[in-house]
């Protein structure tokens, strides 16, 4: 087939994909940036008022807004707690999994698979029920009937973080376990022959070999936990009382669809995208530096 | 001795991790008075289907279940077709903008789709003006966005599977007189099936679990809600019918759980990129 013919057939095959991706991914990204530059509220949507170009007005508005900085700080702190918690639990269990017999390990993995595959909304409601003020098992066991876990800002955040860690540690555990298993036995034997202690082997042999995998799961967790929406929305009923449990994602949603400030909501979306792209770039650079091929 | 301790500890952890799911299923089968009792017990002597009946009739979960199934299955079906064709084009043909397209596929995967709710909302609103089925308040809008979100990864992943099929096979098929169309669907398609299984599981789960877009797009058409949305609407502050809520959660979780278990092995082999010729 001629080169031209190849190109034509190729584009015929690609046409449906390009149509969908162009229309429903590329165009909305362009629109997102565009909307964020306008004053786009209820009147503009219904056609009652003309569109007003604000330039960077929405962003200036946002950066001068105390609540935005509060929410941003909360988002970073919440994501940090979730990431650290997920990694610690996942790594700890991955190491334990290498030291037990197969049936014990399979039991653990099966339980983890269950937590992993539970849909976020269902998982959130189960946890809400377990921690319910009056009928929840946790209050019953602790003897604190009537205590509302979702009322106080910090217990609410803690509860959501625990739920997020519950459903995201399995990914870290399974991946790290596979990584540990892939380390050749000879390497560890050589370390033992040289008289290295168990701790020394873990610190100077296993850890460096696992570095690329640890990097992948860390960044992946950061990206996931930075944009948690469902758990916060369902468990704190849309961001908590007076919005004190908001994270960036829920904040953008509330600004756009509850307050009808679509321009502002889009601006928050852009800020979030830029932050995440920054993290991803950092990730790719780090991957390349550790000698990983893409 | 130490191994026994470790194993005991691991088993306790496994029990803790599985406990919320156990509690969900148990509560779904408990009679109502045991659920609202002041001291809940981790068993029941009178299992009943009352909660499921309430969830399916009062809350109309059956309808939402079907809506979720319809959206997820159409997304899977279309994404298989479209990503297979696109992956074939990107691996089997040489053309000028190929590399650019590949890089763009990688880049769009990094965009947080949650940020796109505002523009997609308006897009669906205007699409709905001309084609109502794909507009707001219709399941078509959900199909479209989830298809778009699942395609980049599906194409990216299938590429490896298509590349693993030797080119000689295509030459042999052509020599045997098979048309390009026949080769595509009767030779290549079955050979990349493991990859298709892996990608479709991911697209299915993605569409099935989605809450944000269902919440944004299905505003007033209650009959077109999907399960996650219906479940959230059902959770009311202070006056929850926990039995029915847990029954609904069970209905929503079980398909994913079974799906995950069934394809687990194929998923792993699929993700590892193994194609047996």
Contacts of B95 (CB under 8 A, 6+ apart): A3, A6, A7, A10, A11
Residue A215 predicted with pLDDT over 90? no
Residue A48 domain-assigned?
no
Is the minimum CB–CB distance between B191 and chain A shorter than 8 Å?
no
Report the CATH number at residue A143.
1.10.3720.10
Residue B245 domain-assigned?
yes
Q: Give the whole-angstrom CA distance, residue B158 versus residue B273.
A: 9
Q: Is B238 left (phi over 0), alpha (psi -120 to 50) or beta?
A: left
How would residue A31 be classed by pLDDT, with cut points 50, 70 and 90?
very high
Which has the higher per-residue pLDDT, A87 or A5? A87
Cross-chain residue pair B86–A16, CB shorter than 8 Å: yes
Residue B192 domain-assigned?
yes
Contacts of A82 (CB under 8 A, 6+ apart): A161, A164, A165, A168, A221, A225, A228
In which residue are the tokens 């509330």 written?
A: A254
Residue A53 domain-assigned?
no
Residue A132 domain-assigned?
yes
Is residue B163 domain-shared with residue B206, that is, in the same domain? yes
- Regarding pTM above 0.90, the answer is no
Residue B231 domain-assigned?
yes
ipTM of the complex: 0.87
Domain span at residue B77 reads 65-271
Residues 48 through 77 of chain B touching chain A, CB cutoff 8 Å: none
Cross-chain residue pair B23–A129, CB shorter than 8 Å: yes
Is residue B106 domain-shared with residue B231, that is, in the same domain? yes
Residue A45 domain-assigned?
no
A39's enclosing H/E stretch is: strand A38-39
Residue A113 domain-assigned?
yes
Structure tokens at B205: 């789960």
Give the residue among A131, A235, A2 at the shortest CA–CA distance from B95: A2
Give residue B207's pLDDT: 92
Are A229 and B211 contacting, i.e. CB atoms less than 8 angstroms apart?
yes
Give residue B110's pLDDT: 81
Q: Give the whole-angstrom CA distance, residue B272 versus residue B277.
A: 15
Mutation target among B1, B17, B79, B154 for the A interface, most CBs of A within 10 A: B17
Are B160 and B195 contacting, i.e. CB atoms less than 8 angstroms apart?
yes
Taking only the tens place, the pLDDT of each residue in A35-51 is: 999 888 888 877 777 88
Structure tokens at B75: 């997304």
Residue B53 domain-assigned?
no
Q: Which residue of B has its CA nearest to A269?
A: B115
Give the residue among B174, B173, B157, B191 at the shortest CA–CA distance from B277: B191
Give residue B276's pLDDT: 31
Is residue B36 domain-shared with residue B2, that is, in the same domain? yes
Residue B55 domain-assigned?
no
Residue B54 domain-assigned?
no
Are A15 and A23 contacting, i.e. CB atoms less than 8 angstroms apart?
no
Is residue B35 domain-shared with residue B105, that is, in the same domain? no
Is residue B204 domain-shared with residue B97, that is, in the same domain? yes
Return phi, psi of residue B45, to 5°: -100, -10
Distance from CA of A33 to the nearest CA of B (A): 9
Structural domains of chain B, count: 2
Domain span at residue A187 reads 66-289
Taking only the tens place, the pLDDT of each residue in B45-92 is: 889 999 999 888 888 888 999 999 999 999 999 999 999 999 999 998
Distance from CA of A222 to the nearest CA of B (A): 12
Task: Count A/B contacts: CB-CB distance under 8 Å.
Answer: 260
Return phi, psi of residue A237, to 5°: 55, 55
Cross-chain residue pair A107–B23, CB shorter than 8 Å: no
Q: What value, to the nearest 5°, has the Cα angle with vertex A116 and ends A85 and A208? A: 50
Per-residue DSSP letter, A54: -
Distance from CA of B3 to the nearest CA of A (A): 7
Q: What percent of chain B has pLDDT over 90?
A: 40
Taking only the tens place, the pLDDT of each residue in B87-122 is: 999 998 888 888 888 888 888 888 888 899 999 999
Cross-chain residue pair A99–B9, CB shorter than 8 Å: no
Q: What value, to the nearest 5°, has the Cα angle with vertex A10 and ends A4 and A14? A: 145
Residues 211 through 230 of chain B touching chain A, CB cutoff 8 Å: 211-212, 216, 227-228
How would residue A87 be classed by pLDDT, with cut points 50, 70 and 90?
very high
Residue B121 domain-assigned?
yes
Pick B151's closest partner by Cβ from A20, A27, A127.
Answer: A20
Is the minimum CB–CB distance between B235 and chain A shorter than 8 Å?
yes
Structural domains of chain A, count: 1
Q: Is A51 left (phi over 0), alpha (psi -120 to 50) or beta?
A: beta
pLDDT under 50 in chain B at which residues? 269-277
Taking only the tens place, the pLDDT of each residue in A182-214 is: 888 888 888 888 888 888 888 888 888 888 888
**In the predicted model, what is the mean pLDDT of chain A?**
89
Report the CATH number at residue B134.
1.10.3720.10
Are A31 and B119 contacting, i.e. CB atoms less than 8 angstroms apart?
yes
Is the minimum CB–CB distance between B85 and chain A shorter than 8 Å?
yes
Cross-chain residue pair B253–A117, CB shorter than 8 Å: yes
Residue B100 domain-assigned?
yes
Return phi, psi of residue A197, to 5°: -75, 170
Pick A111's closest partner by Cβ from B18, B37, B151.
Answer: B18
């Amino acid at each position: 087939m001629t080169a031209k013919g190849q190109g034509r057939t190729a584009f015929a095959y690609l046409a449906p994909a390009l149509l969908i991706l162009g229309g429903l991914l590329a165009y909305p990204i362009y629109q997102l940036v565009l909307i964020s530059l306008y004053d786009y509220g209820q009147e503009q949507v219904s056609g009652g008022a003309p569109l007003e170009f604000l330039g960077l007005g929405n962003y200036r508005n946002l950066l001068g807004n105390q609540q935005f900085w509060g929410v941003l700080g909360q988002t970073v702190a919440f994501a940090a707690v979730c990431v650290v918690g997920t990694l610690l639990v996942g790594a700890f269990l991955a190491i334990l999994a290498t030291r037990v017999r197969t049936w014990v390990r399979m039991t653990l993995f099966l339980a983890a698979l269950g937590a992993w595959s539970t849909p976020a909304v269902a998982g959130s409601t189960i946890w809400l029920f377990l921690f319910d003020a009056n009928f929840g098992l946790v209050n019953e066991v602790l003897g604190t009937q009537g205590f509302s876990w979702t009322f106080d800002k910090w217990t609410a955040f803690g509860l959501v973080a625990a739920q997020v860690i519950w459903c995201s540690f399995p990914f870290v555990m399974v991946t790290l376990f596979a990584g540990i298993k892939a380390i050749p036995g000879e390497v560890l034997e050589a370390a033992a022959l040289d008289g290295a202690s168990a701790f020394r082997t873990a610190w100077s042999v296993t850890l460096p070999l696992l570095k690329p995998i640890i990097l992948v799961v860390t960044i992946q967790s950061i990206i996931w936990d930075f944009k948690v929406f469902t758990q916060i929305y369902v468990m704190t009923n849309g961001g908590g009382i007076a919005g004190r449990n908001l994270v960036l994602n829920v904040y953008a949603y509330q600004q756009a669809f509850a307050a009808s400030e679509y321009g502002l909501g889009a601006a928050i979306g852009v800020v979030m995208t830029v932050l995440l792209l920054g993290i991803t770039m950092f990730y790719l650079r780090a991957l390349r530096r550790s000698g990983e091929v893409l | 001795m130490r191994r026994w301790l470790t194993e005991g500890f691991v088993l306790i952890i496994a029990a803790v991790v599985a406990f919320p799911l156990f509690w969900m299923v148990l509560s779904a089968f408990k009679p109502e008075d045991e659920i609202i009792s002041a001291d809940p017990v981790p068993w029941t002597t009178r299992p009943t289907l009352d909660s499921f009946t309430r969830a399916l009739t009062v809350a109309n979960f059956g309808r939402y279940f079907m809506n979720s199934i319809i959206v997820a299955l159409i997304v899977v079906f279309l994404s298989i077709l479209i990503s297979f064709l696109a992956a074939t084009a990107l691996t089997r043909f040489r053309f000028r903008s190929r590399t650019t397209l590949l890089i763009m596929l990688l880049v769009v995967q990094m965009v947080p789709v949650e940020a796109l709710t505002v523009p997609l909302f308006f897009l669906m609103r205007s699409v709905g003006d001309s084609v109502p089925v794909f507009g707001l308040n219709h399941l078509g809008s959900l199909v479209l966005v989830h298809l778009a979100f699942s395609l980049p990864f599906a194409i990216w992943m299938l590429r490896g599977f298509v590349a693993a099929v030797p080119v000689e096979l295509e030459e042999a098929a052509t020599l045997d007189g098979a048309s390009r169309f026949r080769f595509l669907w009767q030779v290549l398609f079955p050979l990349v099936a493991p990859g298709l299984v892996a990608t479709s599981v991911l697209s299915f789960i993605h569409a099935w679990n989605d809450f944000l877009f269902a919440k944004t797009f299905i505003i007033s058409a209650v009959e077109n809600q999907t399960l996650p949305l219906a479940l959230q609407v059902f959770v009311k502050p202070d006056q929850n019918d926990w039995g029915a809520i847990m029954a609904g959660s069970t209905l929503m979780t079980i398909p994913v759980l079974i799906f995950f278990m069934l394809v687990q092995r194929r998923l792993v082999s699929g993700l590892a990129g193994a194609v047996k010729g």
